[in-house]
Amino acid sequence: MQASCSRQELIESLDDPRPEVARAAIARLVGSKSQHAAAPLRSRLLDIDLSGCRIATALRRIGDSEIVELAIAALSDQRYPRRLAALRALGALGDERAAKSLEMMLADDVAGVRAAALDAMAQLRGPAAVDAAADCARLLSDAVPHVRIAAVRALGRLVTHPGDVLAPAAEDEDRLVRLEVAQHAARLPEHAVQALLADPDLRVRGAAARAARIRDLCALSVLLTDDPAGDVHRASAHALGSVRDQRVADLLVVGLEDPDAFVRAAVLHALGQLLSRDGAVRRLCEELDCKRPARRRAVVYALARLRAREVTPELARLADDPDPDVRLALIHSADAFYDEPEHVMRYLAADPDIGVRQATEMWLLRAKRP
């Protein structure tokens, strides 16, 4: 929009079908600080294609004194789109004067209006928020799932400790409701968290894992290794990495054996968060003595990802590891550990395992290419 637009042109642009033009016009009118900006904005609060939130916010910025009353009055409009627009405006304003009117809208015949009323109530603060929470809790049993979702969302904002109120919704028949509840896993009682971590839907389990906290370490460690979904493994690794307890490293290293490369990367990142890069390297080196060949192999690749050249002397003994897959891992990762890996390759070229010898020969052939 050209900077030379007159006030009348800006007002006309509010009705432009292109959202970006209408948004720019609102911003210009608000920026002009003109007393005449309120009327054209107010008249479009319930009709403009743009969200009423943007208009309401603009009117609040210029100090309009009529916007709250106008939006409250529109709640009784027979046309539900106008009620929706009014609710979105009141949500943007968060004015406690609208609390009683919003409460009445929770009984609206239109499910979308009830959900919008919940979203608006979630923005209330102070004493009005306390009363609003009790009203919102009733809609956790609404017949329409997206209204129940809005009720969970509202209670999550209005109540500092919503666990006991939200706990029953952890077993809601609708997976999207449970998914919303899972976002609040850290504030739920243990039985509700366990239900979410064992949910049949992988997205719910993943969300619960991301939001879980230290008391759920046992469940998270099980999800990291035993859950059928890689997304849940990654979420569990992320949650474990955020727990500020170095003992968690013992739970994380198991995930290095995961067949999913993204999960292994998430585990390595979590170890770095937990222990720092150097601490992770030291902890990984401890696993080089693990009796499980798969663990030793996984640790070699993990150390290679960290470019941990400081542990090269400790890796030398792996050239004689009893498991050929561990020796193959050393071949595949040699460039990360050695400036000149050829001496290691020459040694492994006489390996008793044909697979190791072939991998070594391939490496030596590539090294000879100009």
**pLDDT at residue 94 is higher than 80:** yes
Q: Which range has the worst mean pLDDT, 44-48, 103-107, 338-342, 346-350?
A: 44-48
**Contact predicate 60/91, CB 8 Å:** no
* Alpha carbons 5 and 22: distance in angstroms, whole number: 13
Instruction: Give the gyration radius of the chain's Cα atoms.
Output: 30
262 vs 128, which has greater pLDDT?
Answer: 262
Look at residue 32 in the predicted model and tell me its pLDDT. Answer: 65
Q: What is the mean pLDDT of residues 17-36?
A: 71
* Alpha carbons 54 and 29: distance in angstroms, whole number: 13
Q: What is the mean pLDDT of residues 51-75?
A: 80
Element (H, E) at 314: helix 312-315
**Contact predicate 238/210, CB 8 Å:** yes
Band (pLDDT 50/70/90 cuts) for residue 98 is very high
* Alpha carbons 145 and 339: distance in angstroms, whole number: 60
* Alpha carbons 87 and 101: distance in angstroms, whole number: 10
DSSP state of 15: T
**pLDDT at residue 4 is higher than 50:** no
Q: What is the mean pLDDT of residues 135-146?
A: 96
Look at residue 1 in the predicted model and tell me its pLDDT. Answer: 47
37 vs 99, which has greater pLDDT?
Answer: 99
Concatenated DSSP letters of 26-69:
HHHHHHTT-TTSHHHHHHTTTT-SS-HHHHHHHHHHTT-SSHHH
What residue type is 334 in one-letter code?
A
pTM of the model: 0.71
Query: How wide is the angle at C-alpha 223 spanned by C-alphas 218 and 226, nearest 5°?
Result: 115
* Alpha carbons 92 and 71: distance in angstroms, whole number: 11
In order of their start, the domains of the chain are 1-93 (1.25.10.10), 309-370 (no CATH)
Band (pLDDT 50/70/90 cuts) for residue 13 is confident
- What digits encode the pLDDT tens for the residues 167-202? 999 999 999 999 999 999 989 998 999 999 999 999
What does the block give as tokens for 252? 């994380």
Report the Cα–Cα distance between both ends of the chain, in Å, rounded: 59
